[in-house]
């Protein structure tokens, strides 16, 4: 083996890292940057300039996620895909690395532009359907026409669908789209209203995560049109059956009385509930629905903690809600979610009822929450608050603020396993 005369280091030591290791590193970086701004994502693409081996490794990984935000970008990609994807000599048409496709603002308000944009969307979905696993459609003025449904049906590996619009969903259009994705596992519906729907037998049987951030949740049961909007979500829950385990819901209305049917539809199988505020936005009666499998809850401000003394809360209050009796993990998304807890522990200390019992929780402040084991913080948290939780045997963990509910559920399961092994 030849060596450099000045330092004795092998010339082979300057070679690039093995391709497998490069792929693993770049994949981790790409996953982290997936939700970042485009300027940050560009940093990953710039790594292709380091050397040929880096270029061969990074380009396919970068192209796993494509985001198109206007008709011009869509047209450019359709016209130049052969050049863009011919990064290796063995490239084969229709064999693409694209796993995630995001189409945003392609659909304008004018009829002519909408038709042109729909055609572009259909072409792109067809083009990348082979390995497509995640599809986002963010539009303002269109439904789910037959060509679009047929294109989505070609994506046999599609597991995640995100549909955003400021219009009311057409029941048949949306049902047809969901019928076309029998293997779907994660669904986000951003329609301003979702009417009742009927599905084929094979639809939604594998759905495990549902996010409906814009669904109406009005307390006025006499207004059948508003209540019907929510029944579309209930239809989805009922059709998914036992496979649906995680729900994320941030109602548009301050009162969420209409959400009770949703919770009842998933009562026996729900494992994760992610919402804006259980105290304000969920039907009061929903808080008394016991979900035997519910183990993770994320809520922003726990406002009811402000309204009572620590002793009252610990003995009655929201600690007694049947909905929370089996929960083992609380997720805190921001600083607003922490303030009530700081006051809660401070009140407990003033009232001289702060009596930590990490080994025997049945007599402590958390005696009404016997299964609570851990808290996950997406925000900064003071040492004193951590110490107060841990004094009662409740573990505290810091997590990335961009973790999605499905990722949090996986993390919770892993952390619980680690705790059991201790």
Tokens at 5, concatenated: 């005369």
Q: Judge whether 342 lies within some domain.
A: yes
Contact 279, 301 (CB under 8 A): yes
Please say whether the dihedral angle defined by the alpha carbons of residues 122, 141, 102 and 72, taken in this order, is positive or negative.
Answer: positive
pLDDT of residue 162: 95
pLDDT of residue 62: 73
Give the total number of structural domains in the chain. Answer: 2
Domain that holds residue 55: 18-62
Q: Please report, to the nearest 10 degrees, the dihedral formed by the alpha carbons of residues 313, 314, 317, 319 taken in order.
A: 130
pLDDT of residue 142: 60
Closest CA to 305 of 296, 297, 314: 314
Contact 412, 376 (CB under 8 A): yes
Tokens at 358, concatenated: 């990490």
Q: Judge whether 352 lies within some domain.
A: yes
Could you tell me which residues come within 8 angstroms of residue 162 by beta carbon, excluding any fewer than 6 positions away?
Answer: 134, 135, 136, 137, 138, 187, 188, 190
Q: Judge whether 371 lies within some domain.
A: yes
pLDDT of residue 39: 52
Looking from the CA of 2 toward its CB, the CA atoms found within 13 Å total: 4
Phi (first) and psi of residue 408, to 5 degrees: -65, -40
pLDDT of residue 321: 84
Q: What is the DSSP letter of 12?
A: G
The pLDDT tens digits along the chain (422 residues) read: 444 444 443 344 445 556 666 666 666 666 655 555 555 556 666 655 556 666 666 667 777 888 898 888 889 899 988 777 765 444 455 567 899 999 987 655 444 444 457 888 899 999 999 999 999 998 766 678 899 999 999 999 999 999 987 666 666 788 999 999 999 999 999 876 788 899 999 999 999 999 987 544 444 444 444 444 678 899 999 999 999 999 998 766 555 556 788 899 999 999 999 988 777 667 778 888 999 999 999 987 666 665 555 666 666 566 778 898 999 999 999 888 888 888 888 888 888 778 776 555 555 788 888 899 999 999 999 999 999 999 988 999 999 988 999 999 999 999 988 766 65
Contact 419, 374 (CB under 8 A): yes
Boundary-marking domain end, from 9, 27, 62: 62
> Which CA distances in Å does 159 have to 25, 350, 372, 405?
24, 52, 32, 15
Q: Judge whether 176 lies within some domain.
A: no
- Inter-axis angle of helices 171-179 and 146-153, nearest 10: 20
Q: Judge whether 50 lies within some domain.
A: yes
Give the 3-state secondary structure of residue 127. Answer: helix
pLDDT of residue 41: 58
Contact 243, 209 (CB under 8 A): no
Helix locations, 180-277, DSSP H: 224-240, 260-265
Boundary-marking domain end, from 7, 40, 62: 62
Could you tell me which residues come within 8 angstroms of residue 352 by beta carbon, excluding any fewer than 6 positions away?
Answer: none
Q: Judge whether 169 lies within some domain.
A: no
Q: Judge whether 279 lies within some domain.
A: no
Between CA 415 and CA 422 the distance in angstroms is 11
List strands edge to edge, sheet with 186-190: 65-68, 100-104, 134-138, 160-164, 186-190, 209-211, 246-249, 272-275, 296-298, 329-332, 374-377, 395-398
Q: Judge whether 402 lies within some domain.
A: yes
pLDDT of residue 340: 83
């Amino acid at each position: 083996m030849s060596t450099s005369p000045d330092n004795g280091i092998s010339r082979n030591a300057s070679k690039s890292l093995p391709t497998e290791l490069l792929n693993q590193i770049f994949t981790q970086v790409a996953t982290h940057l997936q939700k970042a701004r485009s300027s940050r994502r560009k940093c990953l693409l710039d790594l292709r300039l380091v050397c040929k081996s880096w270029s061969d490794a990074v380009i396919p990984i970068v192209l796993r996620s494509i985001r198109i935000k206007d008709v011009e970008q869509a047209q450019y990609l359709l016209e130049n895909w052969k050049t863009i994807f011919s990064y290796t000599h063995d490239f084969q048409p229709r064999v693409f690395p694209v796993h995630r496709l995001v189409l945003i603002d392609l659909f304008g308000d004018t009829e002519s532009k909408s038709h042109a944009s729909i055609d572009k969307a259909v072409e792109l979905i067809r083009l990348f359907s082979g390995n497509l696993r995640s599809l986002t459609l963010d539009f303002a003025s269109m439904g789910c026409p037959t060509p679009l449904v047929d294109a989505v049906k070609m994506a046999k590996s599609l597991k995640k669908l995100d549909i955003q619009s400021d219009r009311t969903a057409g029941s048949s259009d949306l049902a047809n789209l969901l019928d076309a994705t029998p293997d779907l596992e994660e669904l986000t519906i951003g329609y301003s209203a979702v009417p009742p729907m009927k599905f084929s037998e094979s639809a939604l049987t594998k759905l495990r995560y549902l996010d409906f951030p814009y669904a109406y949740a009005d307390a006025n049961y006499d207004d059948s049109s508003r209540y019907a909007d929510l029944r579309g979500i209930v239809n989805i829950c009922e059709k998914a059956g036992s496979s649906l385990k995680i729900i994320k819901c941030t109602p548009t209305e301050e009162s969420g009385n209409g959400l009770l049917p949703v919770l009842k539809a998933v009562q026996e199988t729900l494992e994760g509930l992610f919402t804006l505020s259980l105290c304000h936005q969920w039907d009061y009666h929903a808080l008394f629905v016991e979900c035997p499998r519910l183990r993770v809850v994320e809520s922003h401000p726990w406002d009811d903690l402000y309204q009572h003394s620590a002793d009252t809360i610990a003995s009655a209050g929201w600690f007694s809600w049947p909905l929370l009796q089996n929960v083992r993990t609380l997720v805190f998304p921001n600083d607003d979610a922490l303030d009530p807890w700081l006051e809660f522990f401070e009140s407990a200390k003033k009232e001289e009822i702060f009596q930590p019992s990490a080994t025997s929780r049945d007599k402590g402040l958390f005696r009404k929450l016997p299964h609570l084991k851990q808290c996950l913080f997406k925000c900064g948290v003071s040492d004193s608050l951590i110490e107060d939780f841990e004094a009662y045997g409740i573990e505290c963990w810091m997590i990335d603020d961009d973790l999605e509910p499905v990722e949090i559920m996986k993390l919770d399961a892993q952390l619980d396993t680690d705790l059991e092994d201790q």
